Structure 1
Amino acid sequence: MGPLLCLWIAVFIGLGQGCPESCNCVKKTYGRQLAECAYKDLQAVPVGLPSNVTTLTLSANRITALQQSSFLEVTQVTSLWLAHNEISAIDEGTFARLLHLKNIDLSHNQITDFPWGDLHNLSALQLLKMNNNHMAQLPREAFRTLKDLRSLWLNDNKFTTIAEGTLDAMSSLSQLQIYNNPFDCSCGLLWLKRWAENTLISIPEQDAIRCAAPDSLRGVALGRIPDLQCAPPSVQLAYHPNLDSAELHDGLVFMLHCSARGSPPPEISWKIQTSSQGMELNGPNVTRDGNDLSAGNSKQGTERFLLFHNGTLVIPNFSKREEGTYTCLATNEVGTRKVSISLALASSESPADDLLRNNLAASKLGAKNCYKEGQAKSSVAGEELVIIYRVPAKMGSSDAGALLEAQLWASVLCLAIFLYC
């Protein structure tokens, strides 16, 4: 049984180190092996490849998709050639285990979505060819670990922009091909023009790096576009209560207005963090302008927050549930600015306890200023604490005394916050 067992082991190892029928495997020095599988009309990566393959050629086939399991047999591969296939789908994790990969050619395929996170594991990569595909999205962090990359081919895709900082990590880069992309030559791409004018990196066919937008610059080479008037956003936040009432009752309407300037005009969004949840409002949910807050708006009864086209955020029924931090973000191609405000509700029934509690919350939030809800205030930076008094519908003399006590505690609280900060 001993010799027979050894024979089975030898056969198993032999099969494991075999070569697919559609490929030609050639042993090279130091135990390395070349698997030549080009021009074989393959529709998928063949199975049964030797585990010591370091060069795998699959070019000029009919492969349409790559899965996580496609290269599990050849994790020692250093050169992977996949050009001139029909690849349109690549699963996340397909290349993540190929830690020794130095060269990969994915050019002349039909790739639209690439698993950019896989590149973060390929720190040994020196050549990356992705030209002649249909890719349009390039994350800013795509190449952050590729310090040894020397040649990057992105030409003949559908990229409209490249974010500033995308190329910074590639300290060994000597060649960059980005021509024949439909670039949007607006403020967000001005950095690339300046960078190309000063870099020592070879950028072939610079006259073919042209604008597809805006219409006024269509067909103009990147290096010839004029300087644009660009400015990052500046943002201001104003707030005030419902001014239709002399007294503010339970369920008061509170309004925050975010105004922003910049070139190009910024887009406004809101982040809301209450004690129970966080949410983002990235677009208006009310069709009318923020200046029109008529009482007949039926939506105020169904929506917890109303966001208008002009950046106004309305809280139709402010209560303890709506306490939290409200952040307005203004974003354009040049940058992002934000300003925050923290809202807390103090009950006139027990102002001392409520305000002391709000004091602790404010200190954690890093509040800088304190304003009563009856004041209108604009803020351009930092974070403020606004205390809103809940006033009963009918106020007697005792209630008035409670409100006076609340106002006194508010003054003490403002001083405490100021000293804390």
Structure 2
Amino acid sequence: MMGPVLAACLLIILSTAWISQANGATCKKDGGVCTCNDQTKNVDCSSKGLTAIPINIPTDTDNLKLDYNKLSSLSAKAFHSLSSLTFLELSYNQLQTLPTGVFDHLVNLNELRLGTNQLTSLPPRVFDSLTKLTYLSLFNNQLQSVPRGTFDSLSSISSIELLGNPWDCSCNDILYLSKWIREKEGKVNGIESATCVNKKAVLEITEEEAAEDCVYLNTTTAIPTTIITTLASSNDDDIPELPVPQENFQKFLGYQEPDHLPTQPQCLMSISGYLGLMMFFVLISAAILYVIHFLKKA
């Protein structure tokens, strides 16, 4: 019976070592993937093929670079322990949306870079806590509008990049952004570059031009009640066929084709919770085996 007991003990040792590596694998000096500078408080995780943000980033980090990775989503609490951040770089990833509250603890942030992602929408009030933010980049995304009040709390903003988005100036959601740009014109750099899909400047859009209700199939925007009523009162043969853009259809159904597999460091980070559970069962098994061995000897 000593064989199983020794095996259980070996499993415990290996599991402990694996969990330790997964939980502390942020900086290269600790066996992680990122370059950390203790003097400047900079953490550079650029171009590491990351599909998840490394855990245990030092809490006193001032400058965090996560650009040129494969991040497609963020946890709502991804940055909650990093209230000292003044610079956050998330450009050149695959982010499609942002969770509500993801930036709530970044009260000292000066620069936020989200350019060249796949953002199709922003949650309401996502920047409310960023009162010290001076620079925001949202260029080269898929934004068609922003929720009312999105930029209202950016009292320190001096530069914002909005170009390279397909701003939809035919529906009334764009009116908030258009008004905000007009109010900040001459005070905030870069805002004039926002253009509609028809190349007209967003700041020039009038209420008459943006008179339609907005319906985006790849968001949670509600379908106008007029359409619902019309469809409900029509015969099957009379129901019009609504065009669905092919590139948005899979997103509308909630389907996304995986395009990569996580690398070894990301696997370790993502399964650390499961390893903890495994370690618990290993300990229980070892205790049971020990009791059996003791009883047989007695």
Q: In the alignment, which residue of structure 1 is the partner of 2:118?
A: 134
- Residue 189 of structure 2 corresponds to 203
User: 1:268: which partner in 2?
Assistant: 225
Match of 1:223 among 190, 203, 219: 203
Correspondence for 1:287 among 229, 232, 235 = 232
Provide, for residues 127-178 of structure 1, a one-character-per-residue CA deviation record: whole Å limited to 9, x for no partner. Answer: 1100100011112211111111111111110110012311111111111111
Q: Give the alignment of 1:306-325 within 5 angstroms.
A: none
Instruction: Give the gaps of 5 or more residues in structure 2.
Output: 1-23, 214-222, 236-298
Asked which structure has the greater RCO (Cα within 8 Å, sep 6+), the reply is 2
CA contact (8 A) 2:90 2:114 kept: yes
**Letter in structure 1 aligned against 2:174:** L
Report how far residue 106 of structure 1 moved.
0.1
**Where does 1:281-360 land on structure 2 (aligned, <5 Å)?**
283=228, 287-288=232-233
From 42, 46, 55, give the equivalent of 1:55.
42
Instruction: Classify the secondary structure of the residue corresponding to 1:80.
Output: strand
Is the 8 Å Cα contact of residues 182 and 211 (structure 1) preserved in structure 2? yes
RMSD (CA atoms) = 3.3
Would the aligned equivalents of 1:100 and 1:122 in 2 still touch at CA under 8 Å? yes
Q: Is structure 2 residue 61 aligned with structure 1 residue 85?
A: no
Q: Does 1:102 align with 2:47?
A: no
- C-alpha spacing 1:158/1:118, structure 2 compared with 1 (3 Å): same
Please give the secondary structure, in 1, of the residue aligned with 2:76.
coil
Q: Secondary structure at the match of 1:128?
A: strand
SS in structure 2 at match of 1:206:
helix
CA distance in structure 2 between the partners assigned to 1:227 and 1:89 by the alignment: 34
The amino acid of 1:58's aligned partner reads C
Gap change, CA 1:267 and 1:25, over 3 Å in 2: closer
Q: Give the partner amino acid of 2:192.
A: Q
**Would you say the 8 A contact 2:128–2:150 is kept in 1?**
yes
Q: TM-score, normalised by structure 2?
A: 0.58
Aligned pairs, number: 199
1:188 corresponding residue in structure 2: 173
| Aligned-residue identity in percent | 24
- Give SS of 1:152's match: strand
Deviation at 1:284, TM superposition (A): 5.6
> 2 CA distance for matches of 1:141 and 1:193?
17
Q: Which residue of 1 aligns with 2:51?
A: 64
Q: 1:183 to 1:120 in 2, by over 3 A?
A: same
How many Å separate the matches in 2 of 1:158 and 1:134?
A: 6
Relative to 1, partners in 2 of residues 1:168 and 1:27: Cα closer, same or farther, differing over 3 Å?
closer
CA distance in 2, matches of 1:89, 1:99: 20
Answer with 1 or 2: which has the greater Rg.
Answer: 1
User: After superposition, where does 1:375-386 map in structure 2 within 5 Å?
Assistant: none
- Alpha-carbon distance in 1 for matches of 2:179, 2:113: 24
Name the stretch that deviates more: 15-24 or 79-88. 15-24
Cα gap change, 1:83 to 1:284, in 2 (>3 Å): same
TM-score (norm 1): 0.42
Could you tell me which runs of 5 or more consecutive residues in structure 1 were left unpaired when the two chains were aligned: 1-14, 29-33, 35-53, 213-217, 234-265, 270-281, 293-421
